[in-house]
Structure 1
Amino acid sequence: MVLDSTRSAVRQRVRWLALHGFVRTMARLGMRRGDPQARLIADPAVRADPAAFADEHRDKGPVVRGRVGLITFDHAVANELLRSDDFRVSSLGGELPKPLRRIIDRTDTGLLHPIEPPSMLSIEPPDHTRCRKLVSSVFTTRAVTALRDGVTATAEKLLDDLQRDATGTGAVDIVARYCSLLPVSVISDVLGVPDADRARILHYGELGAPSLDIGLSWPQYLRVHSGVAGFNAWLTNHLENLRRNPGDDLLSQLISATEDGAGLSERELEATAGLVLAAGFETTVNLLGNGIKMLLEHPDQLAKLRERPELWPTAVEEILRLDSPVQMSARVAKKDIEVAGMPVRRGELIIIHLAGANRDPKVFDDPHRFDVERDNAGKHLSFSGGRHFCLGAALARAEGEVGLRTFFERFPDARLAGSGSRRDTRVLRGWSTLPIALGTARAALGS
């Protein structure tokens, strides 16, 4: 038992060194030379202010070459890459040197990971098409419209609890008490997750959020591994429970299709279920937290929304544009090709800096200004594009609109009660904590 534990620990350490330790070392060296991709990984100033980083490199051309690949902050180039059949998605560590990839393969933990096959984030047609088709019907605009009343009822209940529990202090961590609970409740209803399991999912999600990043520190890696392992174990049990007691939820439908031989393999089923569940709340948690912070810092824009509530959908698009919950994506060239006049070799990686593209002055006038009346706010790329466009975009938009509008209707005097803290992630951007003084509450609609 002790020997097995020691071997497992050594195996994990070796895996970390190959997957993250090497990248961290090279990123620190590259950062000293000003390499943009290295700075994305190692420079805390870039994490703190990604918009300034994008502006710093924008004048260098639509595509900027680093030591190990390329990066674009250009909206037109990003839009083209996301839709191009000449590029494919990347996977965790997939573009590292071959000796490191062999080590990563030999130390594979067997756990499902959001950016490793068969996750839809890391596969291409025809497998991607088949997997996506099976789940897409749940997230159409029409389907989300049918879910909207449930989203509103969930938001109102959470705000009732918030109002009651905050009596006497008036200050709460809005991320823990609202921004995280609303999306996890909604997606759990869609996927048949019992109420008793939702706190555990949130815990695993918080631990595993940096799993989309590369170059993790050893302590970060251990926390991520713990979160991913815990989520994998929970998901296996959840799917088994649904097999015994199926409902009318999406996962029960997928299980039925798989057992009939017309759906997914067992591994694909687990990967798809895990991705839909995790992605269904992770990005929306960030959207809600970012939105509350931004609106409280811009009372003039909040006043416009109170006067003209029909602007709420545009406000959500503007929040997504200015503080994208997903900051970047990546594509790999399938052949030698040119992008905006820059030669790109087969197998070369291009980082698509979504946050930078969303503030491209060629597309958005005065791009750093928060404007809930911006007529082209919806041209942002925060939901990616092409065949990998976010399946849950319509649901995230609905939750953002309902969640933010309902919060500010209930607590019109809310104000920031501290600086809060950002999540320790690079690909995802949001708040880990955000203290809010709620002020006097208004009665809930219909009460």
Structure 2
Amino acid sequence: MSPRYWARWVVEQGGARYALRLQARRDPFARLITTQAALRDPYPSIEEIRQRGRLLPKSYWTVTADYEFTRAILRDSRFGTFGPDGMDMPKWLRNRLKTVQTPPNPVEPPSMLMVDPPEHTRLRKSVSAAFTPRAIGRLRDRIESVTAELLDALPPGGSADLIEGFAQQVPIAIIAEMLGFPQEKRDEFLAWGDAGSPLLDIGISWRTWRDAYLAMGVMDGYLDEHLARLRREPGEDILSSLVTAGDLDDRELKATASLLMGAGFETTVNLIGNGVVQLLSHPEQLAKLKEDPELWGQAVDEILRFDPPVTMTARLALCDTEVGEHAVPAGTVVVMSLSGANRDPAKFEEPNSFDITRSNAREHLTFSSGIHTCLGASLARMEGAYALRSLFDNFPDLALDGEPHRRPLYTLHGYAHMPVRLGRRATVAAQ
């Protein structure tokens, strides 16, 4: 990569990396996104942020862990998405950075995640139209078949890495189905996802940033060939529908595909992994599910609230405005702790208790809110509920076999490895 890419890393990540590490001793937000202690357990730092105020101004950002404020900002048109284009920088530097062309990816325009209306409205309308009832029905059938195949492959009475052998494999198979990718390329998709996912963090290293964009470049080349193939031979998948509709150009199609890959894979694998740990850590809650399987949908929402797969997001104030009693000047970047909002005692009674019967668990903000609410939220819930229920039905004696290892990511919160003892395989009636 040329020196211009290094300059872009300095602007996007390097400055924040230096500042956060410098502030980590006295600043709970800096500790939250830079320290190993927070990677293992972010909630002490989150509670310190909450105790310091509902909206906490910092040197580079304003931070909140407040449910009401977070929800209000996510739904307020006076706040927009935040990326490099929103940073305050000299005009000459902004123009220079525009000459650094990066591959389409989930964290830069024209990804829906990083654009505001009217572009966001146009893109989301096109993608929403491809999520037809027929397409979702095919995905439901695929969830059931791939879950059964994966569970059959696990050795009863033996040990396994539940992330590599199950939690990763369910969502990547569904994403392949959505995008018309050949199933035999799953390992490549996993590698691209692992390399690209750190881009959602703040202050990542130059090497991590470089490797992420190199992986995105390889994926970009594959998507060029794949889109050409779908134009010649469209299938019944969602990406084929977008290609044949002709409403999006190639860069928009590739950004959308990479976003669906990232959002559809990362959130679901973390949901499944986090769910396994929470249910095994709270056996009385798992017992309730065995007594009443109708609670599985509600259990998934409590997992999403209590141990969310995505922990934070950010918005840029587009004009001088207010949040509650707090003035927010134009250009302010507000970082919102979704994990903190989901455990706000003003919203959730006994928020640090894991309770699958919680009446308002579905009001969590893990899938965001407002116009950027996760398009695949219902699909993620369906995948998570079916995968977790099938896993515990098939292996009722499932137990951890050592300490699960967290991924070294702060925004995407999940496990890289999870050693388990599977125990006996039960005879399971059709669900």
**TM-score over 0.5 (shorter chain):** yes
CA contact (8 A) 1:93 1:101 kept: no
1:150 aligned partner = 142
1-structure distance, mates of 2:228, 2:61: 43
Give the one of 245, 268, 273 matched to 1:289: 273
Opposite residue 418 of structure 2, the aligned amino acid is L
CA contact (8 A) 2:131 2:238 kept: no
For residues 24-423 of structure 1, the aligned pairs below 5 Å read: 24-32=17-25, 34-92=26-84, 94-95=86-87, 97-98=89-90, 102=94, 105-106=97-98, 108-139=100-131, 144=136, 147-162=139-154, 166=155, 170-258=158-246, 263-423=247-407
2-structure distance, mates of 1:170, 1:104: 56
**Identity among equivalent pairs (%):** 42
CA contact (8 A) 1:188 1:194 kept: yes
Measured after TM superposition, the shift of residue 18 of structure 1 is 3.0
CA contact (8 A) 1:317 1:378 kept: yes
SS at match of 2:86: coil
Opposite residue 187 of structure 2, the aligned amino acid is A
CA contact (8 A) 2:298 2:357 kept: yes
Unaligned runs of 5+ in 2: none
Measured after TM superposition, the shift of residue 146 of structure 1 is 5.9
1:15 aligned partner = 8
Q: Which moved more, 1:8-17 or 1:276-285?
A: 8-17
Distance 1:78 1:437, change over 3 A: same
Distance 1:141 1:252, change over 3 A: closer
2-structure distance, mates of 1:215, 1:372: 35
Unaligned runs of 5+ in 1: 1-7
Distance 1:101 1:179, change over 3 A: farther
2-structure distance, mates of 1:182, 1:206: 16
CA contact (8 A) 1:19 1:100 kept: no
2-structure distance, mates of 1:38, 1:96: 21
1-structure distance, mates of 2:158, 2:330: 57
Measured after TM superposition, the shift of residue 394 of structure 1 is 0.4
2-structure distance, mates of 1:375, 1:403: 23
CA contact (8 A) 1:62 1:340 kept: no
SS at match of 2:52: coil
Distance 1:300 1:229, change over 3 A: same
CA contact (8 A) 1:332 1:350 kept: yes
Distance 1:142 1:37, change over 3 A: farther
Q: Which moved more, 1:60-69 or 1:199-208?
A: 60-69
- Cα deviation digits, residues 321-362 of structure 1 (max 9, x gap): 011111011111111111121111101100111100000001
Distance 1:370 1:22, change over 3 A: same
2-structure distance, mates of 1:402, 1:222: 37
2-structure distance, mates of 1:141, 1:333: 37
2-structure distance, mates of 1:387, 1:203: 30
CA contact (8 A) 1:73 1:353 kept: yes
Measured after TM superposition, the shift of residue 142 of structure 1 is 8.5
Distance 1:326 1:92, change over 3 A: farther
2-structure distance, mates of 1:271, 1:170: 41
1-structure distance, mates of 2:212, 2:47: 31
- Cα deviation digits, residues 168-222 of structure 1 (max 9, x gap): x711111111101101111211221111222211111011110111211133223
Measured after TM superposition, the shift of residue 39 of structure 1 is 2.9
Distance 1:140 1:423, change over 3 A: farther
Opposite residue 375 of structure 2, the aligned amino acid is L
Opposite residue 393 of structure 1, the aligned amino acid is A
2-structure distance, mates of 1:133, 1:106: 28
Distance 1:341 1:48, change over 3 A: same
- Cα deviation digits, residues 46-94 of structure 1 (max 9, x gap): 3322222221121222211111221111111111101001110111473
Distance 1:197 1:96, change over 3 A: farther
RMSD: 2.1
- Cα deviation digits, residues 397-438 of structure 1 (max 9, x gap): 000100000000000000001112111111110001111110
SS at match of 1:172: strand
Opposite residue 428 of structure 1, the aligned amino acid is L
CA contact (8 A) 1:326 1:428 kept: yes
Q: Which moved more, 1:15-24 or 1:340-349?
A: 15-24
Distance 1:390 1:266, change over 3 A: same
Opposite residue 16 of structure 2, the aligned amino acid is V
- Cα deviation digits, residues 4-31 of structure 1 (max 9, x gap): xxxx353443333332222211112222
2-structure distance, mates of 1:36, 1:95: 23
2-structure distance, mates of 1:409, 1:214: 39
1-structure distance, mates of 2:82, 2:216: 19
Distance 1:81 1:183, change over 3 A: same
Measured after TM superposition, the shift of residue 300 of structure 1 is 0.9
CA contact (8 A) 2:55 2:62 kept: yes
Distance 1:199 1:31, change over 3 A: same
